[in-house]
Amino acid sequence: MTDGAHAATGPGRTPREVATHCPYCALQCGMTLRDESGRATVLPRQFPTNRGGLCQKGWTAAELLDHPERLTTPLLRDPAGGGLRPASWAAALDRIVSGLRAVQSGHGRDAVAVFGGGGLTNEKAYALGKFARVALRTRHIDYNGRFCMSSAAAAGMRAFGIDRGLPFPLADLGRADTLLLVGANPAETMPPLVRWLTEQRERGGRLIVVDPRVTATARQADLHLQPLPGTDLAVANALLHVALTEGWIDRDYVADRTSGFEAVRRAVAGWWPARAEALSGVPVADLEATARALGTAERVIILTARGAEQHAKGVDTVTGFVNLALALGLPGRPGSGYGCLTGQGNGQGGREHGQKADQLPGYRRIDDPAAREHVAGVWGVPADELPGPGVPAYELLDSLGTPAGPKALLVFGSNPVVSAPRAARIEGRLRDLDLLVVADFLLSETAALADVVLPTAQWAEEDGTMTNLEGRVLRRRALRPPPPGVRTDLEILADLTARLRGGAGGADATDPRVVFAELRRASAGGIADYAGVSWERIDERDGVFWPCPAEDGPDTPRLFADRFPTPDGRARFHAVEHRPAAEEVCAEYPLHFTTGRVLAQYQSGTQTRRVAALRRAAPDAFVELHPDLAGRLGIGDGEPVRVVSRRGELRAPARLSTAIRPDTVFAPFHWGGAARANSVTNDAVDPVSGMPEFKICAVRLERVDEP
Ligand code: SF4
């Protein structure tokens, strides 16, 4: 069968199998899902990115389908001040619609906001954006992808005129002579990707990792640069300085394919390696060795991830590495280039089709009159009825319930109580709302605060498409229908549209195929052009790479071979200067604090904390600190500690490790409650991308003596 399903099915008969993809990260590993007598299991599947491999999260993903905590009925908060109580769909939807109407009639259309997620399928992301702009007619929509790779997206747009995580297939990593990973730890976040790193080194390539911690990935590297958090841009500028000094710049490429180099040359002239060493702690010899490995190899790939991007200067930091890649003539050269390792499952597609505050489908700008005309035409509404740009995620969340901010919020596929920076403040904002609606399949920390909770289908219960970190559009296939009482996000949006608009228009389609067909028309001619991507075409091969403007034309596995999608076809250098973190250490808060992930948990942990095998592998949060620091503070391994910043504190057991610098402490961000890392993080944001500074703030560390 071309749709990837082996259809023989029925209770007690031949098992049903579907070829699909893991529900979690942006690697979107191929897997086979099998339903045998009502029990779902995961089987390996050969797919070009993961080649049959899965991490522990993928192997155990089916466990949540029948989880005892699964939500199967809407919940309504008792208006008398009680908790959440089961309710009918009619009662829940009526409560939402009357609440939305009351808020909008009292405070205007923008008093309602929508918050989406990077795990939603392309169809849902598109429908959510349309629902906000057409059914609610609010400008306020954004999504948690803003917390993930928005800095790389903004840097890519300003340099290349396009934002696609990897502009080449993942397999290119295996052929790179030099591979530089900056702030990326795929050995823990995307373990099947490590096969490509192994292949690269077996072919004689060099792997260089830039990370403040000695991560599982850094341990495999030929060279590990361990900079102070927040100094990656100084490292990037110093590497380019050395490349210039040594004559490793590709002068022809710079002259023929780029603009703006002279300003960058002047800017990095002052970044001699000793200056970068003084700031970052990376020895001059290591900077020079890295520059040589980059500047003298044939095939070179530079990748950034959250470690470089989640800063108040994240866009400039990524730009520093993009400048380096351009100066070496990498983007568009076979087997070479710059890329970003996207994080969330559909972080790429989720930002292309309308969830971002400033964008319409196809990566169109919402303030572009021609883009508004095109999309309004597809939606059947006058262009002047479409709202203008909203505000980035943190700004939106921080305005909730305030006099000038939205009074009602609808959340789909996100858990900002755990994932937002300065989370206690955001939790307070959510409590101040007149109406909070959360659609989810488990009672996340955010859903627990809601006035209305709507139970939604899971990944294996509905069809759709996802776009992986390579820009490859994939098919997610349903193994079985949702359980009784559960609706899909598309059905929920259609139900709300019908009640708000009396039926016609808005996000009223419940069939994902119909939604995708409309998405194709809406994206046609845009930067992220899906017009030629059909479900059938995806089924015929291992996905389709966007841009793909025509069904009878080619897709685009590799970008930039001849030109960049900028007005003059050239990539653009931007001079960028290192600047300090938004919050520096001081006598009261003398340590750097940084956050990250662990192998067995995913994002805010709503799903993975409920999977038995993952809970056993990573049961609790921890605070990682160097034994020297622990010795100075009298802290033993496993003893409870408190990490305190100007914004709040977290409590968790200490984990002593020489993998971290003695001036820095680390905590994973997958847990809520007292161990919530984002109680501590800084809400300073990048001025271009709106990315919060998750990766560095100033803290003090204390032993907890009381029980
Ligand atoms: S690496 Fe990502 S996509 Fe692959 S199995 Fe693990 S979580 Fe799923």
Residue 702 backbone dihedrals phi, psi, to 5 degrees:
-130, 145
**Encoding tokens for residue 39?**
């029990």
**Encoding tokens for residue 648?**
């709040």
Q: Is 654 in the pocket of ligand 1 (CB under 6 A)?
A: no
pLDDT band at 280 (very low <50, low <70, confident <90, very high): very high
C-alpha separations of 325 from 193, 236, 271, 322 in Å? 22, 10, 17, 5
Q: Is 29 in the pocket of ligand 1 (CB under 6 A)?
A: yes
Strand partners, 97: none
Report d(CA 528, CA 565) in Å as an integer: 11
Query: Ligand 1: distance of its center to the CA of 421 in Å?
Result: 25
Report d(CA 294, CA 336) in Å as an integer: 11
Point out the ligand 1 atom lying closest to the alpha carbon of residue 23.
Answer: 8
Query: Ligand 1: distance of its center to the CA of 25 in Å?
Result: 5
Share of the chain above pLDDT 90, in %: 88
Does 506 score more than 80 pLDDT?
no
Q: Is 261 in the pocket of ligand 1 (CB under 6 A)?
A: no
Q: Is 22 in the pocket of ligand 1 (CB under 6 A)?
A: yes
pLDDT at 6: 55
Cβ–Cβ < 8 Å for 154, 124:
no
pLDDT band at 225 (very low <50, low <70, confident <90, very high): very high
* Lateral strand order in the sheet of 464-467: 464-467, 472-476, 544-545
CB atoms under 10 Å from CB of 704, counted, come to: 14
Q: Which positions ≥6 away from 173 have C-beta within 8 Å?
A: 179, 193, 196, 197, 200, 301
Query: Ligand 1: distance of its center to the CA of 602 in Å?
Result: 10
3-state secondary structure of 162: coil
Report d(CA 325, CA 330) in Å as an integer: 5
Point out the ligand 1 atom lying closest to the alpha carbon of residue 31.
Answer: 5
Residue nearest to atom 6 of ligand 1 (CA): 55
Strand partners, 141: 114
**Encoding tokens for residue 407?**
């009074």
3-state secondary structure of 349: helix
Query: Can you give 255-313 as a three-state secondary structure string?
Result: HHHEECHHHHHHHHHCCCHHHHHHHHCCCHHHHHHHHHHHHCCCCEEEEECHHHHCCCC
Q: What is the largest CA-CA distance in the chain?
A: 73
Q: Is 492 in the pocket of ligand 1 (CB under 6 A)?
A: no
pLDDT at 199: 95
Name the residue with tokens 């927040």. 230
pLDDT at 503: 61
List the one residue out of 315, 322, 347, 320 whose CA is nearest residue 337.
Answer: 322
List the one residue out of 553, 188, 155, 140 whose CA is nearest residue 323.
Answer: 155
pLDDT band at 19 (very low <50, low <70, confident <90, very high): very high
pLDDT band at 7 (very low <50, low <70, confident <90, very high): very low
Does 707 score more than 80 pLDDT?
no
Cβ–Cβ < 8 Å for 204, 299:
no
* pLDDT, tens digit (0-9, with 9 covering 90-100), for 172-184: 999 999 999 999 9
Report d(CA 601, CA 619) in Å as an integer: 9
Report d(CA 570, CA 356) in Å as an integer: 26
Report d(CA 27, CA 660) in Å as an integer: 27
- DSSP H helices, 453-563, are 489-501, 512-523, 535-540
The rounded mean pLDDT for the chain is 94
Does 482 score more than 80 pLDDT?
yes
Report d(CA 670, CA 668) in Å as an integer: 6
**Across 651-656, average pLDDT:** 97
Q: Is 190 in the pocket of ligand 1 (CB under 6 A)?
A: yes
Q: Is 160 in the pocket of ligand 1 (CB under 6 A)?
A: no
DSSP character string of 410-438: EEES--HHHHSSSHHHHHHHHHT-SEEEE
Which helix (H) or strand (E) element contains residue 450?
A: none
Q: Is 54 in the pocket of ligand 1 (CB under 6 A)?
A: yes
Strand partners, 656: 625
pLDDT at 1: 36
Q: Which positions ≥6 away from 158 have C-beta within 8 Å?
A: 315, 319, 572, 574, 688
The total number of residues shown for the chain amounts to 707
Does 8 score more than 50 pLDDT?
no
Question: Rounded to 5 degrees, what angle do the CA atoms 28, 30, 33 make?
Answer: 115
**Across 275-303, average pLDDT:** 98
Asked whether the bond before 547 is cis by omega within 30 degrees of 0, the reply is yes
List the one residue out of 350, 245, 335 whose CA is nearest residue 297.
Answer: 335
Name the residue with tokens 């790429």. 348
Residue nearest to atom 4 of ligand 1 (CA): 29
* pLDDT, tens digit (0-9, with 9 covering 90-100), for 532-591: 999 999 999 899 999 999 999 999 999 999 999 999 999 999 999 999 999 999 999 999
Report d(CA 336, CA 172) in Å as an integer: 8
pLDDT band at 3 (very low <50, low <70, confident <90, very high): very low
Q: Which positions ≥6 away from 407 have C-beta within 8 Å?
A: 103, 106, 107, 111, 112, 401, 433, 434, 435
pLDDT at 81: 78
Point out the ligand 1 atom lying closest to the alpha carbon of residue 21.
Answer: 3
